[in-house]
Structure 1
């Protein structure tokens, strides 16, 4: 750039700086005319936009005119604008469009002043136009970089806040109304709704992520690792519907089967991990109870498998597994004689299990085991003899059924 062009730029910049208020008003009006979002005044008010536009036009003119320290101040101002607009939630594309409108207004003002210039000065117009857009591009680039970095920082901060409030719910601090309200707001869900907690057995080498599969069927969820498990809060469908499908379930919405069957179906199909599901609950403040019950449900499953346990479908298993000492005592009390019967043990236990599962029907048990009805009766009689309990007794049948469940859990 020769001395003549440098002098012309400085002259134009000084002249236009004298018209700074008019140019600022023109730019604000131009941005409003081309951006419905800016024109709405939300999230950027007209006063906020005018302050930013005035500063930007002033710095851009000083930069074009070669006035002192303008370049460094432009980058600082651009960074500040990028940070502010990211915090306000203004889309980056909309902000960049506003910068382009600013370049247009500045260039139009300079071009108007060049119309009556000499031919030699008018030959400099092309270079001056390039200088205007170089300034706008540099300004836009710094602003956009800062905007993106701020967005990442805000997202990380929000993720941390959401995670902390989620942990507060699971730790039982949701009883504080302020915590419950903040958690609902951060997670974007109502305090009252239909929820369940899910606990998944984690493989550290291949951590599970159930969220995409659940989202695909319309189930919102939020997940965080807790030790060797993954804990999730799932918002279920409306009461009386099969969540994710909209089909009427026709079941009591308070039961686990009705409230969590769609959730369990998706987890069984797509998760590939053992998982426990709590019964549905209707207040976020009950998330800690949901966590405890989901852990109890998971505890009824064998390690390393991929089954999904709904607690309400495995209450007996959960109760029997809660106290190992009492469970073992139950087995000794009701099946000790059979367990010590040597070669008979296996066939007697299998026959007893099928007989109880078929409603104590000798005929149906015989069909299932491919033997004669009298053989079944003889084996059940032998169980009664070894345990000292009559087969006709409801108390005996209950004890045998529970003891068999304990043996099943022990095998798992």
Structure 2
């Protein structure tokens, strides 16, 4: 840059600095005219926008005119704008557009003052335009970098807060109305609605976050790891746990337990306990989904493994030690109980004769020492078969 161009830049910059308030008002009006968000005054009030514009325009003109003083740090001013706009959740694209409008207003003001200049000075217009846009681009870049860093920090901070409040709910602190209200606000979920808790066995080969798959089914959810499991709060709304279970079976591919529905965030800790109990009724690695209400008997038996083993021993020991007969006797007993102790319906399912079924049930009675016509014996056999699923792992 030669001395003539430097002198012209300095002269124009000084002239515009003398008219800084009017230039700032022009810029603010221009930004409002081209941005409905800024024009709304939310989240950036006009007075705040004017203050930022005045400072940025002042420093940009000093930079262009080679008039920067020791205390002038335009990069810091741009960075401060980026930080503030990120904290205000103003879209970055909107802020960058405002910077471009600023460059346009500055250049137009300089161009207006160049109209009556000599031909030699007007030949410098192209270089001066380039200098204006280089300045705007540089400060836009500083602003955008700071905006992105601040947005990441805010997101991390908010994620940490949401996670902490979610943990507070699962730990049973949702009974405090202040905790429940803070959690509802952080999670973006109402204090009262229809919810369920899901506990998923961790699987490195499966997606870490089931939320996108459930969102595609219209179900909001929030998830966090808890030890070797993944715990999630699901907002059911009008849907039921069966809808949730079907979505998990279809999209998750992992073993999961689902609590019964509940209607307050404060009950999330109870939901967690129920979901864990439901998960405990399933064999590991089976990619099955269990609703607690559908497996209450399994959950009760699984709560005390010693008693479950004793139940199996008391009601099925003879059958289990029957050698080659064991598989067919257990299967016949299971189907016979499931069909309401109907020999005919059992025979249809097993593709055998009705008398064959009666003979096998008689053999079960003989081996266990329990009469087939006794309701207590039938209940014991049914429970023992469920307990066998748990103890045989």
- Mark the runs of 5 or more structure 1 residues left unpaired by the alignment: 244-258
Q: Spell out the pairing of 1:90-239 with structure 2 (5 A cutoff).
A: 90-204=90-204, 206-238=206-238
Name 2:360's counterpart in structure 1.
379
For the residues of structure 1 that align with 2:124 and 2:324, how far apart are their CA atoms?
107
Q: Give how far 1:295 is off.
A: 1.0
User: TM-score w.r.t. structure 2 length?
Assistant: 0.95
For the residues of structure 1 that align with 2:35 and 2:323, how far apart are their CA atoms?
86
For the residues of structure 1 that align with 2:205 and 2:335, how far apart are their CA atoms?
40
For the residues of structure 1 that align with 2:71 and 2:139, how far apart are their CA atoms?
9
Name 2:86's counterpart in structure 1.
86
1:224-281 superposed Cα distances (whole Å, 9 cap, x missing partner): 111111111111131xxxx3xxxxxxxxxxxxxxx21111111111211111111111
Structure 1 residues 344 and 117, CA gap change in structure 2 (3 angstroms):
closer
Q: Which moved more, 1:96-105 or 1:276-285?
A: 96-105
2:289 to 301, 308, 312: 308
Q: Which moved more, 1:81-90 or 1:109-118?
A: 109-118
**Is residue 331 of structure 1 aligned with residue 322 of structure 2?**
no
For the residues of structure 2 that align with 1:366 and 1:35, how far apart are their CA atoms?
77
Q: Give how far 1:185 is off.
A: 0.8
Q: Give how far 1:139 is off.
A: 1.1
User: TM-score w.r.t. structure 1 length?
Assistant: 0.91
Whether the aligned pair in 1 keeps the contact of 2:305 and 2:391 (CA below 8 Å) is no
For the residues of structure 2 that align with 1:346 and 1:65, how far apart are their CA atoms?
94
For the residues of structure 2 that align with 1:136 and 1:376, how far apart are their CA atoms?
89
Name 2:278's counterpart in structure 1.
297
For the residues of structure 1 that align with 2:32 and 2:330, how far apart are their CA atoms?
82
Whether the aligned pair in 2 keeps the contact of 1:63 and 1:70 (CA below 8 Å) is no
Whether the aligned pair in 1 keeps the contact of 2:308 and 2:391 (CA below 8 Å) is no
For the residues of structure 2 that align with 1:403 and 1:161, how far apart are their CA atoms?
47
Whether the aligned pair in 1 keeps the contact of 2:347 and 2:357 (CA below 8 Å) is yes
Q: Give how far 1:411 is off.
A: 2.7
State the aligned residue count.
393
Whether the aligned pair in 1 keeps the contact of 2:59 and 2:72 (CA below 8 Å) is no
- Mark the runs of 5 or more structure 2 residues left unpaired by the alignment: none
Q: Give how far 1:391 is off.
A: 1.8
Name 1:255's counterpart in structure 2.
none
Structure 1 residues 144 and 342, CA gap change in structure 2 (3 angstroms):
closer
Q: Which moved more, 1:322-331 or 1:197-206?
A: 197-206
Structure 1 residues 136 and 347, CA gap change in structure 2 (3 angstroms):
closer
Name 1:248's counterpart in structure 2.
none
For the residues of structure 2 that align with 1:206 and 1:387, how far apart are their CA atoms?
44
Q: Give how far 1:100 is off.
A: 1.4
Q: Give how far 1:365 is off.
A: 2.1
Q: Give how far 1:23 is off.
A: 1.1
For the residues of structure 1 that align with 2:152 and 2:184, how far apart are their CA atoms?
22
1:279 to 241, 260, 265: 260
For the residues of structure 2 that align with 1:48 and 1:216, how far apart are their CA atoms?
41
